[in-house]
Structure 1
Amino acid sequence: MLSFDHQSHPYANTRHSTYGKNGMVATSQPLAAQAGLEILKKGGNAIDAAIATAACLTVVEPTSNGIGGDAFALVWTKGKLHGLNASGKAPKSISIDAVKEAGHEEIPTHGWIPVTVPGVPGAWAELSAKFGKLPLADVLEPAIKYAEEGYPVSPTLGKYWNSAYNIYKQKLTDDVFTHWFDTFAPKGRAPKIGEVWSSKGHAETLRLIGETKAESFYRGSLAEKMASFAYKTGGYLTAEDLAEFEVEWVNPIRVNYRGYDIWEIPPNGQGIVALQALNILKGYIFHEKDSVDTYHKQIEAIKLAFADAQTYVTDENHMKVSVESLLSDVYGETRRKLIADEALLPEAGDPASSGTVYLAAADGEGNMISYIQSNYMGFGSGLVVPGTGIALQNRGHNFSMDKHHANALEGGKRTYHTIIPGFMTKDDKPVGPFGVMGGFMQPQGHVQVVMNTVDFGLNPQAALDAPRWQWMKDKVVEVENRFQHHIAQGLARKGHQIKISLEPNSFGRGQIIWRDPETGVLVGGTESRTDGTVAAW
Structure 2
Amino acid sequence: MLTFNHQSYPHSNTRHSTYGKKGMVATSQPLAAQAGLEILKKGGNAIDAAIATAACLTVVEPTSNGIGGDAFALVWTKDELHGLNSSGKAPKAISIDAVKEAGHDEIPTHGWIPVTVPGVPGAWAELSEKFGRLPLEEVLEPAIQYAQEGYPVSPTLGKYWNFAYKSFKEKLTDDVFKHWFDTFAPNGRAPKVGEVWSSKGHAETLRSIGKTNAKSFYHGELAEKISQFSNETGGYLTAEDLAEFQPEWVKPINVNYRGYDVWEIPPNGQGIVALQALNILKGFEFPERDSVNTFHKQIEALKLAFADAGKHVTDEGHMKVKAEQLLSDDYGELRRKLIGEEALLPEAGDPSLSGTVYLAAADGEGNMISYIQSNYMGFGSGLVVPGTGIALQNRGHNFSMDPEHVNALAGGKRTYHTIIPGFMTKGDQPVGPFGVMGGFMQPQGHVQVVMNTIDFGMNPQAALDAPRWQWMKEKVVEVENRFPHHLAQGLAEKGHHIKIALEPNSFGRGQIIWRNPETGVLVGGTESRTDGTVAAW
- Both proteins in one fold, TM over 0.5: yes
**Structure 1 segment 181-196 matched on structure 2, within 5 A:** 181-196=181-196
Equivalent residue for 1:389?
Answer: 389
Equivalent residue for 1:50?
Answer: 50
Task: Report how many aligned residue pairs link the two structures.
Answer: 537
- Tell me how far apart the structure 2 counterparts of residues 441 and 89 of structure 1 sit (CA, whole Å): 23
Residue identity opposite 2:252 in structure 1: P
Which runs of 5 or more residues in structure 1 are unaligned?
Answer: none
**Structure 1 segment 87-166 matched on structure 2, within 5 A:** 87-166=87-166
Q: Percent identity?
A: 86
Which runs of 5 or more residues in structure 2 are unaligned?
Answer: none
| Contact 1:355 1:379 survives alignment (8 Å) | yes
Normalised to the residue count of structure 1, the TM-score between the two structures is 1.00
**Structure 1 segment 22-61 matched on structure 2, within 5 A:** 22-61=22-61
Equivalent residue for 2:347?
Answer: 347
Residue identity opposite 2:319 in structure 1: M
| Contact 1:11 1:465 survives alignment (8 Å) | no
- Match of 1:3, SS state, is coil
- Match of 1:280, SS state, is helix
| Contact 1:11 1:462 survives alignment (8 Å) | no
Q: CA deviation at 1:288?
A: 0.6
Q: CA deviation at 1:503?
A: 1.2
Q: CA deviation at 1:9?
A: 4.1
- Tell me how far apart the structure 1 counterparts of residues 476 and 178 of structure 2 sit (CA, whole Å): 38
- Match of 1:5, SS state, is coil
Q: CA deviation at 1:116?
A: 0.0
- Tell me how far apart the structure 2 counterparts of residues 357 and 163 of structure 1 sit (CA, whole Å): 18
Superimposed CA distance per residue, residues 200-251 of structure 1 (whole angstroms, 9 cap, x where no aligned partner): 0000000000000000000000000000000000000000000000000000
Equivalent residue for 1:415?
Answer: 415
Equivalent residue for 1:521?
Answer: 521
In the alignment, is residue 327 of structure 1 matched against residue 331 of structure 2?
Answer: no
Residue identity opposite 1:130 in structure 2: K
Equivalent residue for 1:16?
Answer: 16
Superimposed CA distance per residue, residues 182-204 of structure 1 (whole angstroms, 9 cap, x where no aligned partner): 00000000000000000000000
Equivalent residue for 2:167?
Answer: 167
Q: CA deviation at 1:418?
A: 0.1
**Structure 1 segment 277-356 matched on structure 2, within 5 A:** 277-356=277-356
Q: CA deviation at 1:419?
A: 0.1
Runs of 4+ in 1 over 6 A off after TM superposition: none
Equivalent residue for 2:200?
Answer: 200
Superimposed CA distance per residue, residues 232-273 of structure 1 (whole angstroms, 9 cap, x where no aligned partner): 000000000000000000000000000000000000000000
Q: CA deviation at 1:8?
A: 7.3
Residue identity opposite 2:97 in structure 1: D
Residue identity opposite 2:528 in structure 1: S
Output the aligned Cα RMSD: 0.6
- Tell me how far apart the structure 2 counterparts of residues 12 and 433 of structure 1 sit (CA, whole Å): 23
- Tell me how far apart the structure 2 counterparts of residues 126 and 211 of structure 1 sit (CA, whole Å): 14
- Tell me how far apart the structure 1 counterparts of residues 90 and 520 of structure 2 sit (CA, whole Å): 43
- Match of 1:44, SS state, is coil
Equivalent residue for 1:406?
Answer: 406
| Contact 1:148 1:203 survives alignment (8 Å) | yes
Residue identity opposite 1:98 in structure 2: A
- Match of 2:353, SS state, is coil
- Match of 2:432, SS state, is strand
Q: CA deviation at 1:13?
A: 3.0
- Tell me how far apart the structure 2 counterparts of residues 18 and 210 of structure 1 sit (CA, whole Å): 32
Equivalent residue for 1:368?
Answer: 368
- Match of 1:10, SS state, is coil
- Tell me how far apart the structure 2 counterparts of residues 470 and 464 of structure 1 sit (CA, whole Å): 14
- Match of 1:511, SS state, is strand
- Match of 1:491, SS state, is helix
- Tell me how far apart the structure 2 counterparts of residues 323 and 107 of structure 1 sit (CA, whole Å): 27
| Contact 2:27 2:533 survives alignment (8 Å) | yes
Residue identity opposite 2:35 in structure 1: A
| Contact 1:12 1:461 survives alignment (8 Å) | no
Q: CA deviation at 1:7?
A: 2.9
Q: CA deviation at 1:439?
A: 0.1
| Contact 1:513 1:525 survives alignment (8 Å) | yes
Residue identity opposite 1:99 in structure 2: V
- Tell me how far apart the structure 2 counterparts of residues 487 and 12 of structure 1 sit (CA, whole Å): 17
- Match of 1:352, SS state, is helix
- Tell me how far apart the structure 2 counterparts of residues 230 and 187 of structure 1 sit (CA, whole Å): 26
The verdict on how the C-alpha distance between 1:284 and 1:96 changes in structure 2, with shifts beyond 3 A counting, is same
- Tell me how far apart the structure 1 counterparts of residues 315 and 504 of structure 2 sit (CA, whole Å): 31
Equivalent residue for 2:489?
Answer: 489
Equivalent residue for 1:467?
Answer: 467
Equivalent residue for 2:503?
Answer: 503
| Contact 1:509 1:529 survives alignment (8 Å) | yes
| Contact 1:270 1:309 survives alignment (8 Å) | yes
